[in-house]
């Protein structure tokens, strides 16, 4: 083992980097990507500085792994900014505060309203069909309404 470490070359680092990048393709979630890049960088530096001791190579690999992971963490953290479309993928949230006539009476806490060409299930107090209601909330696909 010690003989292998003492003769560690740039091909070994490039091979490790390629193996880690291949494993990343199978779904590691980005973790092996940056370690694989650090291994490839270590291989490039070992090529540029022949005769670099294996201890320095491992130290360089560790530092590069930490730096690339911190880079990715910072980049992911800065990407989490508030959305300019907060209702995206929350179908029905655009109906909050709007008024509609009941399409079907609310009986037992359930009824329906017509919005454009679709019909929505609503929940609220029992009311006859045709009553004007306002959407005050949403519980999954159920719109919560109150009479005007």
Alpha carbons 75 and 90: distance in angstroms, whole number: 26
Q: Print burial letters for 34-57: b (CB count within 10 Å at least 16), e (below 16).
A: bbbbbbbbbbebbeeeeebebeeb
**Whole-model pTM?**
0.52
Residue 3 has a pLDDT of 67
Which residue ranges form the domains of the chain, and what is each CATH number? Answer: 2-79 (no CATH), 93-147 (2.40.50.140)
List all residues 6 or more positions away from 96 whose beta carbon is below 8 Å from its beta carbon. 135, 136, 137, 138
pLDDT tens-place string over residues 67-116: 998 998 888 888 777 766 666 667 888 889 999 999 999 999 999 999 98
Alpha carbons 62 and 147: distance in angstroms, whole number: 65
């Amino acid at each position: 083992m010690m003989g292998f470490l003492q003769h560690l070359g740039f091909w070994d680092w490039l091979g490790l980097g390629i193996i880690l990048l291949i494993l990343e393709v199978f779904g590691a979630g980005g973790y092996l990507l940056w370690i694989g890049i650090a291994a490839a960088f270590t291989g490039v530096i070992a090529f540029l500085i022949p005769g670099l001791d294996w201890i320095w190579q491992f130290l360089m690999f560790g530092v590069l792994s930490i730096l690339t992971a911190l880079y990715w963490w910072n980049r992911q953290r800065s990407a989490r900014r508030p959305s300019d479309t907060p209702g995206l993928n929350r179908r029905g949230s655009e109906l909050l505060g709007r008024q509609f006539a009941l399409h079907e009476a609310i009986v037992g806490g359930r009824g329906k309203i017509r919005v454009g060409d679709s019909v929505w299930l609503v929940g609220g107090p029992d009311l006859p069909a045709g009553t004007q209601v306002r959407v005050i909330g949403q519980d999954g696909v159920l719109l919560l309404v109150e009479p005007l």
